[in-house]
Structure 1
Amino acid sequence: MRLHLLALIVASFACCLHAQQLDAEIRHVTIWSDGTRMAGDLYVPRDLKEGEKRATVLFCAGTGGVKKGNGALYAKRFVKEGFVVLAFDYRGWGESDCKLTLPEPMPKADADGTVTVKARPVRWQMDMADQTLDIRCAISFLMGEPCVDKERIGLFGTSYGGGLVVWVAGNDPRVKCVVSQVPGMGGGRPQSAQKYANDLAVKQARGETEPVPIETGKLGGKMAVYAQMRANPAKGLGYNAVEAAGKISAPTMIIVAEKEELMSNEENGRRAFQLLQKNLVKSEYHVLEGIGHYGVYKEKFEEATKLASDWFHLHLDAQLRTP
């Protein structure tokens, strides 16, 4: 017991010391999305004055990303620029609660309106319908934060999240600025993929396959390294971030890797940028030379994040200090 208590004290001290080094307060928050709790970390600059409202960046992760991983990496970078930053875990990812699936029919509720069931957790789903809602709920959470300027909320999404933020920005006017990094946007899907998704939706609805992929839905090819993830193409029907880019009015920056190996830059980032330009939206398209998809987190991290932070400073009119 004493050793356990000592470990807790050491961990707490390390966390406080880490926050002091950041010159930011990290608040652990709960965000509700369609009745399910999501875990979030709100990074608040220590020089925030009482009653002051700051421009805010909402970080949206890519495949398998969590707030303690890339979420913390980018939050630390942007909070140093003076922004309030929120990193969170989508429903069923990381520390967030998840939806449940019932292997047996639900019993009748008792007098208090509750039921006791045997359920299976639904975790690590790549579910565009759910995760775009999760992002919008995170925006709603920020709208209620006293330190957040409601008119200066920007989205930063990377990889899978890079497509999600473009879709959200095209459908939610509360978004005032966007950075989409090495994005997968659903552009260039062949008809065969659409047919597969439609056929899968029929089977799921009729109970002819898993209603939610748990044993099925594993990622293949170069994405197989994400062994815990499950894809559900049926939930992506009607989702196309490239098309959503045609509805964006907020300033949008798209950053891609020259040697992108997971998707086509032309069918994703470039096509979205062309729509933005056609609609006279303030936008920029940057190609980071010499790197593949994951280079934005390694050798080109500083270059990419400077592009992003400068974009947020410029278009959120943050008037913040630069470290």
Structure 2
Amino acid sequence: MRKDIEFKTEDGVTLRGWHYVPEGAQGPVPTIVMAHGFSAVKEMYLDRFAEAFAEVGLASVVFDNRNFGASDGEPRYEIDPWQQVRDYRDAITYAETLPETDAQRIGIWGSSYSGGHVMVVGALDRRVKCVVSQVPLASGHRNVRRLIRSDYLASVQAMFDEDRRARMNGAAPAMIPVVAEDPAAPSALPTPDSWTWFTETGKTRAPSWHNEVTLRSVEMFTEYEPISYARYISPTPFMMIVALDDVLTVSDLALEAYEEALGPKRLVTLSGGHFDAYVNDFEAASGPAQEWFLQHLGK
């Protein structure tokens, strides 16, 4: 069973999403809090994961990140990773208020950018009793240096600096496409598979997705280091799902973050690329996540 929900964050922004409850649930049940990655909206396959969790008796609170999709927030299409971490924690607080939620059995799930967020939230918030991080961003600074040619880095930094000066003088934040067909053109996620997945999924599933973010969203990406929190997730059970052919949130950095984490932990590897976790490798990604949540949250 799915119903639309909305809740206010601590700073008063309304976030909207879905509440999934397993059919025939009796009393409070374990609940998974989940949001999407960089610029993505909930219709981009989060429903499939929430449905898979409901099939095994797990409820889910799924929400659009602020400034995106059905959620409020200004400026539109701006991504502040630390604000998104705070919103995850507010979503946990909201989930605790729902009569269908067993507040002692709350898990978190994230993918890509939010795969990094759940590492941070898992380390900071002990209300969380289980974490699943799928194809996560581990190190924004190092990841950007893998996505952008070294001879382009100085010009990218110059764009950040010019945008900062303009904003101080009262200009609106500069914007940049999330993806571009030409991977050499300016974009936030400059890989061919990013272009294909976002444009195709936007057409077929998520017409509210918008191919633009603020330039400072990319600058904040370069400053974000979820790997520094990996060892502090313990003793909360932690699963990482890594796509071995991931060239967006590159797999070797994710594996390094997994090695940093202490136990209890489990690594699941997928044979495909970053976006295969949502489609071609969906069962290979969702099945172990179901098992991990059931093992540590119970029915």
> What interval of TM-score do these two structures reach, taking the shorter chain for normalisation?
0.7 to 0.9
TM-fit CA distance, 1:233: 4.1
Say which is worse superposed, 182-191 or 142-151, in terms of deviation.
182-191
TM-fit CA distance, 1:153: 0.7
3-state DSSP of counterpart to 1:176: strand
Aligned match for 1:43, one of 20, 24, 28: 20
Match of 2:117 in 1: 164
Match of 2:82 in 1: 129
> Does structure 2 conserve the Cα–Cα contact (< 8 Å) formed by 1:198 and 1:234?
no
* Greater Rg by CA: 1
Aligned match for 2:129, one of 173, 176, 183: 176
TM-fit CA distance, 1:60: 1.9
TM-fit CA distance, 1:46: 2.8
Structure 1 alignment gaps of length 5 or more: 1-23, 100-121
Are residues 1:32 and 2:8 paired? yes
> Does structure 2 conserve the Cα–Cα contact (< 8 Å) formed by 1:30 and 1:39?
yes
Match of 1:145 in 2: 98
3-state DSSP of counterpart to 1:261: coil
TM-fit CA distance, 1:183: 0.8
> Does structure 2 conserve the Cα–Cα contact (< 8 Å) formed by 1:210 and 1:216?
no
> In structure 2, what is the Cα distance between the partners aligned to 1:308 and 1:29?
24
Are residues 1:219 and 2:172 paired? no
TM-score normalized by the length of structure 2: 0.79
Match of 1:313 in 2: 294
Question: How many residues are paired up?
Answer: 264
TM-fit CA distance, 1:201: 9.9
> Does structure 1 conserve the Cα–Cα contact (< 8 Å) formed by 2:270 and 2:281?
yes
TM-score normalized by the length of structure 1: 0.73
3-state DSSP of counterpart to 1:35: coil
TM-fit CA distance, 1:185: 2.3
Are residues 1:253 and 2:235 paired? no
> In structure 2, what is the Cα distance between the partners aligned to 1:314 and 1:142?
21
Match of 2:181 in 1: none
> In structure 2, what is the Cα distance between the partners aligned to 1:60 and 1:181?
12
**Cα separation, partners in 2 of 1:199 and 1:93, compared to 1, 3 Å:** closer
Give deviations 1:21-41, integer Å, cap 9, x for gaps: xxx2x2211121221111121
Give the percent of matched residue pairs that are identical in Structure 1 and Structure 2.
Answer: 30
Give deviations 1:259-285, integer Å, cap 9, x for gaps: 112132222x212211213xxx20011
Are residues 1:285 and 2:267 paired? yes
Q: Which has the higher contact order (CA 8 A, sep 6+)?
A: 2
> In structure 1, what is the Cα distance between the partners aligned to 2:162 and 2:90?
26
TM-fit CA distance, 1:198: 12
> In structure 2, what is the Cα distance between the partners aligned to 1:35 and 1:133?
12
AA aligned opposite 1:284: R
> Does structure 2 conserve the Cα–Cα contact (< 8 Å) formed by 1:167 and 1:240?
no
TM-fit CA distance, 1:301: 0.7
> Does structure 2 conserve the Cα–Cα contact (< 8 Å) formed by 1:71 and 1:88?
no
Give deviations 1:207-235, integer Å, cap 9, x for gaps: 15856343688525225665223352444
> Does structure 2 conserve the Cα–Cα contact (< 8 Å) formed by 1:40 and 1:88?
yes
Give deviations 1:271-303, integer Å, cap 9, x for gaps: 2211213xxx200112212x1111112221111
Match of 1:295 in 2: 276
> Does structure 2 conserve the Cα–Cα contact (< 8 Å) formed by 1:258 and 1:292?
yes
> Does structure 2 conserve the Cα–Cα contact (< 8 Å) formed by 1:39 and 1:89?
yes
**Cα separation, partners in 2 of 1:299 and 1:206, compared to 1, 3 Å:** closer
> Does structure 1 conserve the Cα–Cα contact (< 8 Å) formed by 2:141 and 2:221?
no
> In structure 2, what is the Cα distance between the partners aligned to 1:63 and 1:42?
22
Match of 1:80 in 2: 55
> In structure 2, what is the Cα distance between the partners aligned to 1:254 and 1:197?
35
**Cα separation, partners in 2 of 1:182 and 1:210, compared to 1, 3 Å:** farther
Match of 2:224 in 1: 239
Structure 2 alignment gaps of length 5 or more: 179-186, 199-210
